[in-house]
Amino acid sequence: MTEEQKKIKRYVNALERRLKLPLKLKVRINEDIGTEIHLRMEAGESVDEILEEMGSPEAVAERFHEEYAEYVVKKSPIRFLFLGLAAFIIIAAVLFGIVFAQSHQTEPSISIIGGADGPTSIFIAGKTENETNRNVWNTYWMSVVGLFLGCIAAYLMASYGKRGDRKQYMKCILLSAAGLILSFIPFFIPDGHVVQWSFGVGMTGITVAPGVILNLVVLVMAWIRMRKKRGDDIR
């Protein structure tokens, strides 16, 4: 790749990052920009002259936002809530994992069975407890990863808004489906541990599995938006 091609690529990439438009419209704009640059280069202009005359990526993006105002994707600020929640989940999970590992470091108990002539066999107890701890540990991390995937899927959904394309919504569907599966598995494993939130409502306590609820909601919303987008494309 020549130095001129690198400059064009950097410019086009910078412009794409600043465009708050649907993906298909971004692709078309970038193709038009690239074609215009190459045509002007063939006419004898240098890359630096062309890019300077076009203006900064920020200025060009703003002009396109004004031209395609009805297509501008308004990203919901709530997406940062899910991003922050994802980071909190990772930190809390690691801290809990450290505490759990330290509190469940048990030494197997050893029983010596023998007669008058001395010990004849050694029986090691504690296997059941170790298996239980292993199930708790494994299912806990499944539940954590499931909730984390749900937060990422929700963040992407809020970022895409209602003007995302089918591929973007499919990404949300795949992430939330994987998160939903991981959140459900611990319920079917003996001694499984699920990340749960408990709320007190009057004299009643309510416990919910946030990974299941969040992934299910995102999955349904992404599916509905993808189907609606498909209908719009057909029309």
pLDDT digits (tens, 9 = 90+) for 24-71: 788 888 888 888 888 988 888 888 888 888 888 899 888 888 888 877
CA distance 168 to 58: 24
Per DSSP, the chain holds a count of helices (H) and strands (E) of 8, 4
Residue 77: strand, helix, or coil: coil
Name residues whose C-beta falls within 8 Å of residue 33's C-beta, 6 or more positions apart in sequence.
Answer: 11, 12, 15, 54, 60
- What pLDDT band is residue 158 in, cutting at 50, 70 and 90? confident
223 - beta bridge partners? Answer: none
Provide the token pair at 89: 């989940």
Selected residue with higher pLDDT from 210 and 194 = 210
- The mean pLDDT of the chain is 78
State the amino acid at position 16 in one-letter form.
E
Residue written as token pair 């292993």: 134
- Specify whether the CB–CB gap between 113 and 121 falls below 8 A: yes
Strands (E), 15-109: none
Helix (H) or strand (E) holding 190: none
Beta bridge partners of 118: 115
pLDDT value at position 135? 77
What pTM did the predictor assign?
Answer: 0.57
